[in-house]
Amino acid sequence: MPLQLGIVVPCYNEEAVLPETVQRLLALLDRLNAAQLISADSQLYFVDDGSRDATWKLIEQFAATDARVHGVKLSRNRGHQNALLAGLFSARGDALVSIDADLQDDVETIEQMVRKHLNGADIVYGVRSSRASDTAFKRSSAEAYYRLLELLGVEIVYNHADYRLLSRRALEALGGFNEVNLFLRGIIPLLGFQTATVEYIREERFAGESKYPLRRMLGLAIEGVTSFSVTPLRLITGLGLIICGFSLLMIIWIILGKLLTDSVVPGWASSVIPIYFLGGVQLLSIGVLGEYIAKIYLETKRRPRYFIEKTI
């Protein structure tokens, strides 16, 4: 029996691209079905992440005209990762592909993903072969960020966003991760299973504008570090130890200087600099601690990730 495929698309204010996205994905389902790669009851799932424009209306319209189109409406905006999870956990299918609504990820790559899955891969990562469509800032900050994560011991797939295929059992494994704030790009490599990658060229957004301003990107970046690594906490301890040792040596040096010579150093620099320096280190350290405490605070509440208002 051919594979039942589900494609999950999180949408936030995407009225400008949605008609094109639906049309291309339906055409893709037809083609893959004709090639006997997937079954005729493969489906599309559009998650409306509390959009304020006509996104849900459009989804309803498409669902009415084609039985393969489903809609999941969240009760309010919960962010890309949560919208994605809502879709993945509501969708049916032996394998699920997640893709953005804006057609930046080449939909045709899904065929290769399906083929790799049929060859045994439980997780297939879509990896961009070039970042030419990104601004120089986004490119260099992404590069630096991957380096940082690697340094901190977080396993991550380079140049992979949330365009991927998951088998049903990989998805079930994912369901076992209970943290409220899931950073999928960090969690999925922890699942294990057989993985594969397919390369594609990332295009410009087809229409509409990015919903990831710098503020949100930073939020996701901090999430990626603090969710997977306690290294920053350890670095603080190490830094504290080094500075303590250093100041001990300084004290000895000053005492010896006072005892053995009679030239007393005016001492302005040696007293003011450590005050500023330690002040900085302390504030930084408290900030890092605070970041983790905030995390504990948020996680202990065990708040639900999203509410589904209705589905079609």
168-202 core/surface letters (b: 16 or more CB in 10 A; e: else): eebbebbeeeeeebbbbbbebbebeeebbbbebeb
Site membership for ligand UDP, residue 145 (CB under 6 A): no
Sheet strands side by side (includes 123-130): 195-201, 123-130, 160-167, 95-98, 5-11, 43-48, 69-74, 308-311
**Smallest separation, CB 53 to ligand UDP (Å):** 11
Shortest distance in whole angstroms from residue 23 CB to ligand UDP: 16
DSSP string, 46-77: EEE-S-SSTHHHHHHHHHHH-TTEEEEEESS-
Binding mask 104-133 for Mg ion (x = CB under 5 A): x-----------------------------
CB 56 within 8 A of CB 310: no
Residue whose token pair is 């509501």: 90
Q: Per rule CB under 6 A, is residue 306 in the interface with ligand UDP?
A: no
21 sits near Mg ion (criterion: CB under 5 A): no
The answer to whether residue 164 forms part of the interface with ligand UDP (CB under 6 A) is no
Piece in contact with ligand UDP (CB under 6 A), picked from 33-41, 86-94, 96-104, 123-131: 96-104
Size of the site for Mg ion (CB under 5 A): 3
Residues 26 to 65 in contact with ligand UDP, rule: CB under 6 A:
49
The only residue of 48, 102, 106, 122 in contact with Mg ion, by rule CB under 5 A: 102
Binding site for ligand UDP (CB under 6 A): 10-12, 14, 49, 77, 79-80, 83, 100-102, 104, 210-212
